[in-house]
Structure 1
Amino acid sequence: MKVRSKRVVLMSLAAATLVASLSACVPLVVGGGFASGVMVAMDRRTSGAQLEDQGIELRGANRLKEALGENARVNVTSYNRQVLLTGEVARTEDIQRAEQIVAKVENVNSVVNDLAVGIPAALTQRSTDLLITSKVKASLIDAKDLQASAFKVLTERNVVYLMGRVTPREANRATEIARGVKDVAKVVRVFETLTEEELARLGQQPPAK
């Protein structure tokens, strides 16, 4: 698929996701919020790890909803069994409580907790975050020196979170690209680091089954 075609598909999916997400007021969000699952064809995780990540996100979100109720809006995003928590909770003690709950979910290796105390983001902010995410993903596709599908992108209150299994070179390049997107306030990297040799070996292996 040509780059222009990929960008058209990406922006169309982002628009469709925006309509769906803004029409349903769901306080706890699974899988990186409003823009995820677009570029998975050449995922560097094994198929088993991808399935485990989906299970982690679902179980984590369900347990947090039971524990924190409707006053919390928590994104549960898992990549290769590393979980990122973003969003808002009602009380300071809920930040640590949420981390403890997710850490006990089956197959979770580690938790990066970036929750904040506050009122859940408004629909206008959520739509802005979705647009930023789609722009970052499109910019990664345009980059000739990166494999865009190696990155998982999430935006919360104009802060872009980048996840994936990448080399330091790829991490720095993707960070540079994300920082150059309009309205991005900050870029947070939640990467699993590979060496260039490990990356080369991944490229030589057949697709994981």
Structure 2
Amino acid sequence: MNNPTMNRAHRAMCTALAAAALVAGLSACAPLIVGGAVVGGVMAVDRRTTGTQIEDEGIELRASNRIREALGDRAHVNVTSYNRQALLTGEVPTAQDRQTVEQIVSKVENARSVVNDLAVMPSSSLSQRSTDTFITGKVRASLVDAQDISANSFKVVTERNTVYLMGRVSQREAKRATDIARGVSDVSKVVRVFEILSDEELRRSAPQPAPVTTDNSASPGG
């Protein structure tokens, strides 16, 4: 006998798992969505220019490689760049290492600023990192479910149950996304790393529709 409540819970869990798998799968590869491209019939909005998206990927790659060269396996550092602002999360053994990582990233080509939220403590466990990936998936799924904001305008990072939200958004969108993330189970804290846009900036960043052309070559009776 079907139980509607259990069916809804099952569907919600499947959505979160699918989103978590998507986040994990895309973290190490180039984005499938650029600008205002249409993917699967849905308009995907990224308010960064295509050039900035490519620069962000380069910042993350170069910074991660240089940190690995400097600290090896004794630190767990994640670099997330959005609009050339680099967010540092994870764990390092000492305060000196924390400062060293920030200096390394600040010198990476195209990086305009660094937000250093590294913790001085032992590296998180694989179990904790799996939990963080799952939380990221649940937050992403909740943003997708919301009908009044565009989930693709946000980047979500989770570290030790703390959710970081990045994006170029309005004050209303920032508040709405923060409230959504705070309502997700297992989230202990939400940190906003937003670039707040005015209404005019928001309009300018919106994807422009393709120009409509009319073919006048054929005659009316043709």
TM-score normalised to structure 2 length: 0.78
Structure-1 residue corresponding to 2:41: none
Query: How many Å separate the matches in 2 of 1:206 and 1:96?
Result: 45
1:141 pairs with one of 131, 137, 144: 144
Give matches, 1:108-187, under 5 Å.
Answer: 108-187=111-190
Give matches, 1:14-93, under 5 Å.
Answer: 14-15=20-21, 37=31, 41-93=44-96
Bigger Rg, structure 1 or 2: 2
User: What letter is aligned with 1:178?
Assistant: A
Does the 8 Å CA contact 1:35/1:133 hold for their aligned counterparts? Answer: no
State percent identity of aligned pairs: 61
CA displacement 1:34-70 (0-9 Å, x = unmatched) = 8995776321100000000000000000000011111
Cα RMSD, aligned residues only: 2.7
Counting matched residue pairs gives 190
Change (3 A) 1:137 1:69: same
Gaps of 5+ in 1: 1-6, 21-30
TM-aligned CA deviation for residue 204 of structure 1: 5.6
Change (3 A) 1:160 1:108: same
Does the 8 Å CA contact 2:165/2:193 hold for their aligned counterparts? Answer: yes
Runs (4+) of structure 1 moved beyond 4 Å? Answer: 7-10, 33-40
SS at match of 2:135: helix
Gaps of 5+ in 2: 1-12, 35-43, 211-222
TM-aligned CA deviation for residue 14 of structure 1: 2.4
SS at match of 1:189: strand
Structure number with greater CO (CA < 8 Å, separation at least 6) is 1
Change (3 A) 1:121 1:76: same
CA displacement 1:167-199 (0-9 Å, x = unmatched) = 111000000000000010000000111012221
